[in-house]
Structure 1
C-alpha cells in the first residue's frame, strides 16, 4: 500500500475542498491528512485521528504560538512541537518515506521534519498572507507542482520546471442528472428562473444580476448562499421577483441548479484578475443548463462555445435573453461534456498518472 502525508491549507470540511477531493481518490494509498494548526486554546489537536474515508485519517496540528522568527525561543518551541507531533503520528501509523503533499506554502516550514520519498506542492490559489519565501522554498524543493490556472503556472514556473496544470473539478455524477424534482421553495414559481449559487461576499458584484432581473420582469431571480455583508443585496431584495433562499445543503444543490433556466456566474471585485475557474462553473456545466458569466477585464473566454460571456451589466442582461432563447441539444450536451472532463475522478487520475510516471508512486 502506498503512503502519502498531506499538509493541508484548510480543515477537513463538510463541503469537500479541492485537497479533500484529491486525497479521497488516491488509488491504493494510505493518507495521513494534517489540518492547519488549531487556534490557541483549542484542544482538538489532542484528539485521536479521525477516519473520514477508507484509507484517510485526519489529524489537527498543534497551535502555533507565533509566526515571527524574531521571537526566537517561542518561534522555535512552536515549530518543534509541530515537528514532534508530525513525527509521532507517522511513527504510530508506520509511515516510512511517504510522498509528502503540501497544499499550502506553510508546509515549507516542516520539510525537515519528514523523511519523504517525493514532494508535491499543489498551488491552487495565491497566498498573500504568507511569506513569499515559504512558497519559493517549497516550489524549488518539489519534485512536481500542480497549479490550478495558467496564471498560477506562470507564477510558479521560475522556481520549478515540472509544473502541471490541474484545474479545479466537480462531482460530475452528482450534477449530471435529468428530471430532478423541483425543491419546495421553487414550486410556486411560474416563469423562468435565473439562478445564482454561492456566498454573497461583501465584494461580490450583484449589479449584473440586478440589471438582468429588472430587464426580465417575467423571470424570478433565485439566490442561494449565505450573506457576508453584501451591500447591494437589500436593494436586490426590494425587487418583487427576487428570492434569497439562504444557504442550502450540498446534497440539495443539484436539485436547485437543475431546475434553473439560466445559471449566473458573478465576480468578486477583489478577484478581478484571478483566472482560477472554481468548481461552481463546472457544477453549472455538468447540469447542461445555460450559463451567463461576467468576464474579467481582458479575459480570454474559457468556454466561448457554451457560456454566454458579458463585460458589463447591460451586456449581461442581453446574454440572459439569449440564454433563455437557446434551442436544441447541442450546447446542452457540450456543457455536459466539459463537466465530465472536469470530474474529480479525472483530475485524480491525472495526478496518479503523473506521480507514477516520475516514480513517486
Structure 2
C-alpha cells in the first residue's frame, strides 16, 4: 500500500497509540423495521461508490434488498482519525475511513483494522457476510469471523498497472477463506475454477430499462451538442487498457469522424492520449446521464489494447451499448468475442484498418442485423437476475432471515 508523503505532525502516530479515533455518522441510517431483521453484508472495495458506476454498485444496490449492506471504501487522507457512514439508500451505507497524514504502513493497517472493529461493534454486527472485491483488504480484516466469505473477482487486479506486489499472495489467502467465489467473466472463471471448489461465472450484466431509453431520441448533452456527426463513442475508465495508438490511427485516417470519449483518465499521463480536432475527451459522467450521450452517438467502440491487463476483462459497456441500440466494434477481447462476436452481435477488429472498416460498415447500417437476437440475449443478462442467482448460492450456505 502506498503511504502518502508525511504532511502533518507526530499527532497521527500518537492518535493510533492512544486509540483516539472518532466514529462519526453524518447521516444516521433509518432504523430497521422490527418485522424484518436483515443479515448484514460488509463489502470491502478498491473502487469508490461515486467513481464510475459498475459491477460493485450494481451488485450491492441489489444486495440491499436482502442484506443490510456496509460498503467500505479505501481510506481518504486528511487531518483526522475517523470513519464516516453515509446512507446511500435503504439498507445501503457507504463507509469511508479517514486517516491522518504521516502514518507508517503498519499504522495504516492497524488503524483500518481498528475502525472496522469499531463499526462492527457500534452497529452490533454479530453475524454477517464478508464480501471482497480486493484481496488487499485482508491486511486489516483477516481476524474477522463472518458467517460466510464471498470473493467477487471482477478483474485480474494483479495484472493492472500499479498493482501491489503482495496481491497474489493475498488472493491465495482469500481463496482459502472464501466459501464462494464469483467471477466477472468466463475467462476469469477459467483462470480461477481449479483454485477453489465453488467458483461461479457471472459476466457483465445490463440494466436494460436504463440504457434502452437511449433508443428513443434523448436531449443531446450541452458538452456534446456542438460536436458533429458521425459520432464514434467510448465510455469507461481511460487507463493502461485503452489502446491509444489505435484511436490515434483511426482518427487520423478518418478526420471527418468525431471520436467522443467519456470517462476519467487514471494511472496514465493525460498528455499521452491521442489528440486531434476530431477527438473529444468529455470526462466522467454520472451514470444517469449516459443514455443521453449514447442516444446521440452513431457507433460505440471498445478500443482495448491486447495486454495482460485486458486478458480476463468482460467489459460492462458491451451490453450497455447494445441495450442503447448502438452498433458495437471491439478489439478481440476474449469475453467479447465469446458472448457478442461469435453470434454476430458485435464486430471484432484487430487492426486500425479493420477497425475503420467495421465502423464504416456499422455507419452504413450493415451491422448488426439481428437485433431480435441481441434483445433475447440482453433479456437473459440483467443485474437483477445476476444478484438473484448469487443470492441463492449464499442462501444455500448460511441461515439468513431473508425477507419474503
Q: Provide the TM-score with structure 2 as the length reference.
A: 0.75
Q: Is the 8 A contact 1:172 1:339 kept in 2?
A: yes
Note the alpha carbon deviations across 1:111-165, whole angstroms, 9 max, x for none.
5532311111111122331512211111011110111123322333343110111
What is the CA-CA distance between 1:312 and the residue it aligns to?
A: 0.6
Distance, in Å, in 2 between the alignment partners of 1:2 and 1:33 is: 14
Give the match's secondary structure for 1:358.
coil
Note the alpha carbon deviations across 1:325-344, whole angstroms, 9 max, x for none.
22598533433444443332
The answer to whether 1:124 aligns with 2:124 is: no
Where does 1:24-39 land on structure 2 (aligned, <5 Å)? 24-26=61-63, 27-39=65-77
Note the alpha carbon deviations across 1:301-322, whole angstroms, 9 max, x for none.
4312110110111111111121
Note the alpha carbon deviations across 1:167-190, whole angstroms, 9 max, x for none.
233333221112223334555666
Of the candidates 249, 267, 272, which is equivalent to residue 304 of structure 2? 267
The answer to whether 1:107 aligns with 2:137 is: yes
Note the alpha carbon deviations across 1:184-207, whole angstroms, 9 max, x for none.
455566643222233444663244
Instruction: Tell me the equivalent position of 2:40.
Output: 3
Where does 1:113-152 land on structure 2 (aligned, <5 Å)? 113-128=143-158, 129-131=164-166, 132-152=168-188
Instruction: Tell me the equivalent position of 1:71.
Output: none
Give the match's secondary structure for 1:176.
helix
The aligned length equals: 347
The answer to whether 1:257 aligns with 2:257 is: no
Across the aligned residues of Structure 1 and Structure 2, the Cα RMSD in angstroms comes to 3.1
Instruction: Tell me the equivalent position of 2:199.
Output: 163
Of the candidates 198, 217, 224, which is equivalent to residue 179 of structure 1? 217
Distance, in Å, in 2 between the alignment partners of 1:265 and 1:276 is: 12
What is the CA-CA distance between 1:101 and the residue it aligns to?
A: 1.0
Give the match's secondary structure for 1:179.
coil
Where does 1:210-359 land on structure 2 (aligned, <5 Å)? 210-216=248-254, 219-226=257-264, 228-229=269-270, 231-234=272-275, 237-238=276-277, 241-268=278-305, 270-271=307-308, 273-296=310-333, 300-304=337-341, 305-326=344-365, 330-359=369-398
Instruction: Tell me the equivalent position of 1:96.
Output: 126
From the superposition, tell whether residues 243 and 78 of structure 1 become closer, same or farther in structure 2 (CA, over 3 Å).
Answer: closer
From the superposition, tell whether residues 300 and 265 of structure 1 become closer, same or farther in structure 2 (CA, over 3 Å).
Answer: closer
From the superposition, tell whether residues 224 and 89 of structure 1 become closer, same or farther in structure 2 (CA, over 3 Å).
Answer: closer
Of the candidates 49, 54, 63, which is equivalent to residue 90 of structure 2? 54
Runs of 4+ in 1 over 6 A off after TM superposition: none
Q: Is the 8 A contact 1:212 1:320 kept in 2?
A: no
Give the match's secondary structure for 1:99.
strand
Distance, in Å, in 1 between the alignment partners of 2:359 and 2:322 is: 16
Q: Is the 8 A contact 1:99 1:360 kept in 2?
A: no
Q: Is the 8 A contact 1:62 1:85 kept in 2?
A: no
From the superposition, tell whether residues 330 and 298 of structure 1 become closer, same or farther in structure 2 (CA, over 3 Å).
Answer: closer
Note the alpha carbon deviations across 1:212-265, whole angstroms, 9 max, x for none.
44555554333334454253522xx14xx4444444443222111122111111
Distance, in Å, in 1 between the alignment partners of 2:353 and 2:367 is: 26
Note the alpha carbon deviations across 1:65-84, whole angstroms, 9 max, x for none.
444xxxxxxx3x55444333
What is the CA-CA distance between 1:298 and the residue it aligns to?
A: 11
Give the match's secondary structure for 2:157.
coil
Distance, in Å, in 1 between the alignment partners of 2:137 and 2:61 is: 20
Note the alpha carbon deviations across 1:276-327, whole angstroms, 9 max, x for none.
1122222212112111111149985431211011011111111112112225
Give the match's secondary structure for 2:347.
strand
From the superposition, tell whether residues 297 and 137 of structure 1 become closer, same or farther in structure 2 (CA, over 3 Å).
Answer: closer
Distance, in Å, in 1 between the alignment partners of 2:384 and 2:66 is: 14
Distance, in Å, in 1 between the alignment partners of 2:44 and 2:230 is: 45
What is the CA-CA distance between 1:10 and the residue it aligns to?
A: 2.4
Instruction: Tell me the equivalent position of 2:56.
Output: 19
Q: Is the 8 A contact 1:295 1:301 kept in 2?
A: no
